[in-house]
Structure 1
Amino acid sequence: MAKLVFLALLIILPCSAFPSKVLGLFQAHKHHHHSHSNHRTKRNLGQLIALVVQDTPYTFYKMSGYGNWCGLGGDRMGDGSYVDGCDLCCKTHDECYYTARHKHSGCNPLLTMYHYRHGGEGPTLEGNTSAKKRELEKMRNLPSCLSTENEGPSCKEAICQCDVNFSICLKKEPCDPKKVSKRSTLWWLPG
């Protein structure tokens, strides 16, 4: 567990200091579907960071320690409570990872690579009311998982869906900066 915390800090701290450069690293490989899985920058934690940075108004380090569930450790209060909708997004994400780990033997959410994209063709806009068109247009800009050919439900797909749903949830739920826990590992970082 200590190794995972260390690995997470190695990834999170550079992201906080140079978010645009780090985002560029992760954007470069989201479109390459047939890449080597042993490349050091290609880890799920990196993909999660890229999704949060690219799809929400938050930086990854600002989310660390938010409420009771966001960041390392989860459920800091120990009672399952969450402080608001943003914290509920983190709780749901943690529970999604838990389910994936138990449903798929050997599944490690922090190391499992998957393929995703932003936007895309999306649903057709023709023949819809203007309100429906606005709703559909928003859907076109959301991230989505790309399933790999001839694979049934897998750890990859489960983890991808967890991260994509988390990103979409954070897009909808405002996070109040006053609700960052001072017990967070990274609460002291400037934002």
Structure 2
Amino acid sequence: MCLHAGMLALLVLVTAFSSTALKQNDSTDVQVPEEPKNAELAVGYSHDPWGSHQSNHPPEQSRRSKRHVVHLYNMVSCGTGCDPLSYKGYGCYCGFLGSGLPTDGIDRCCKIHDWCYQSANCPMFLEYFIPYYWKCLPGRKPLCAVEHGEWGGGGSCAQMLCECDRQLSLCLRQYPCPRTKALCHSSPLRLLQNVFML
């Protein structure tokens, strides 16, 4: 991925949010329950690797993550059921500084995600620190909130980042979880990165 697209392992979940202002933004038939009981609502600073994670459950049921997993990590996990780290360094675009020709469908998803981040309505490099709200609904369906607090509503940078990450998770779910990393042969720099990320 390009530098300001971030990595699957660079978005951190930092706090909890409780709101009912959620919507569906694509043509899939997600039914939004009034109070999803098994869904986790999450907020995080997109691309901040040093945050923390809390669910919206009462403290005794809270599952605080010691891994300090990132927002995108959780979104991909929700949408695919795969270990998000299995995508790190995959092909020409799943990782930093994406370039070359996508190696397969998974890599195309990562390239589209890069383009999505580039077209997001975000101040340069601030997209790495802007939080967004989302929920993981039953059936592996990530859902972005309509409002993102002080970070804006529809069309805002926060909304665009959330949608980019959601679309990536939905794109990746079309493919089996990767067991090996595809190597990028069309970009010497990227091939070198692939070798060191293995």
Q: Bin the TM-score by the shorter chain.
A: 0.5 to 0.7
Give the corresponding residue for 2:174.
172
Higher-helix-fraction structure: 1
Residues 135-172 of structure 1: per-residue CA shift (max 9 Å, x gap): xxx5xx41110011773410000000000110111111
Aligned counterparts of 1:159 and 1:105: Cα–Cα separation in 2: 12
TM superposition score normalised by structure 1: 0.58
Give the residue type in structure 2 aligned to 1:46: V
Unaligned runs of 5+ in 2: 20-41, 54-68, 184-190
Q: Is the 8 A contact 1:52 1:58 kept in 2?
A: yes
TM superposition score normalised by structure 2: 0.57
Count of equivalent residues: 144
Residue 105 (structure 1) aligned with residue 123 (structure 2): yes
Give the corresponding residue for 2:51.
41
Q: Say which of 76, 83, 87 aligns to 2:107.
A: 87
**How far did 1:177 drift?**
3.6
Unaligned runs of 5+ in 1: 13-24, 121-137
Residues 169-190 of structure 1: per-residue CA shift (max 9 Å, x gap): 11112354444336337633xx
RMSD: 3.9
Aligned counterparts of 1:109 and 1:60: Cα–Cα separation in 2: 20
Q: Percent identity?
A: 25
Q: Say which of 73, 77, 102 aligns to 2:97.
A: 73
Give the residue type in structure 2 aligned to 1:73: L
Structure 1 residues 186 and 170, CA, compared in 2 at 3 Å: closer, same or farther? farther
**How far did 1:83 drift?**
1.2
Moved more, 66-75 or 50-59: 50-59
Q: Is the 8 A contact 1:86 1:173 kept in 2?
A: yes
Give the corresponding residue for 1:147.
146
Give the residue type in structure 1 aligned to 2:108: L
Give the corresponding residue for 1:123.
none
Give the corresponding residue for 1:114.
132
Higher-strand-fraction structure: 2
Larger Rg: 1
